[in-house]
Amino acid sequence: MSEIIRQVTIRGRVQGVGYRAWLAHTAEAMGLQGWVRNRRDGSVEATLAGGDHVVSEMIARCQHGPSAARVEAVVAETAQPDVLNLRQPGERFSILSTL
């Protein structure tokens, strides 16, 4: 299993509906590393790192999110390892402040 890192942007009604907490909880339960944060434009941004199949499964789950979310688009791009440095020290997965 190869390790990959993806930068994911989720658009739609994804702020104020528990999307960041849902994503962090789900990603951690799947054994992924990374972070998630709200963006000022109303989207949610996340970095997901782990096995390629697990990351792909998490990206697929991002299409739906928590029940109150209404996802319009999910865009995933390859990311460099240094993006993981934004995590809080000692955490596998962090919820960050809004960018």
Q: What residues are annotated to the active site?
A: 20, 38
Q: Sort strands 70-78 and 93-95 into parallel, antiparallel or unpaired.
A: unpaired
- CA 98, CA 59: separation in Å to the nearest integer? 21
Give the count of beta carbons closer than 10 Å to the beta carbon of residue 52: 12
